Structure 1
Amino acid sequence: MRLLIDAPRIAERVEAMAADIAAVCPRDTVMVAVMKGSMVFAADLLRAMGRAGMAPRFETLRLRSYGSGTVSSGAVELVGPVPSDIVGRPVLLVDDIADSGRSLDYARRSLLAAGATEVRICALLDKPSRRIIDVPVEFVGFTVDDLFVVGYGIDHAEDYRYLPYVGVVE
């Protein structure tokens, strides 16, 4: 394991992202976090958005495309329902990594079809070199190379989510 982004740097960037989000999103935007990978980031971002003057609501969405592998299967599957508290409301879709774009595109289309008035996308990490589907990721924490990363909620076969930093599996 090699350290990529340490905890203090993540915390600083999350605060800056919350300020950027608060500058353009309605105060009562619904944050929809893609579970499980974004859970740590979403929790920290939700509190930072509150400190930035917002009063966001919080929902979750579960998608599956990796299983226990290190490469996406390419098929995105919704696990459970789309949150119902989004009808007629603006949504901030929060994920751990913007990678191929398949999952974020699927989630964005699902939220809009379920009645969200708009869906803006926020990701802790962006891997633009892996993009297959062009999705509008408006808020990005860090742009990274094509590395297999873990920590800060991101896992490999359900391991490493507990790490307070983002590391590279070597």
Structure 2
Amino acid sequence: MGKFISIVIVILSFSVFKAQQKDITSLRYEALEKRIQEENDKLLVINFWSTTCAPCVKELPHFIEINNKYAANPKFKMILVSLDRLVDKERVIKFMNTKNLTAEVILLDDIKRMNTWIPRFEKDWDGNIPVTLFYNNGEKVFFNDGEMSREELENTIKQYIKS
């Protein structure tokens, strides 16, 4: 019985460790674009947000709930792209831990070139956040400018993935 409890504790500890990042990767636009291209066999949900954006913070619990629901599905991936400044990396990490962000979080360290990469993601994106892009099998299939409700997020995902 003692061995069984030890094994369960180890498994649970691994699950909790895996569920939440302890650090954050900072990328330039080109590296993020490459990551998107590499995830070409699934529905990829990319949410651009910031810790200082009230609508972003408001919608994040919906994203985490949905991410947790679909996390075991190999045809689903969610990436939360923080547009906070690189000097605020520690604040982003603290925010991730406080809010229990289980989706992968990336810090896009490319603020100075926003006018270059924003239209490459979406020609209709005016630079405001939050913004969510959906890619299915490598092709952009939906662009949402502004806050998403849980229902809007789930309904968009259900168009491409059966739960």
TM-score (norm 2): 0.32
Q: Which has more helix, going by share of residues?
A: 2
Q: Which has the higher contact order (CA 8 A, sep 6+)?
A: 2
| Bigger Rg, which one | 2
Q: Which has more strand, going by share of residues?
A: 1
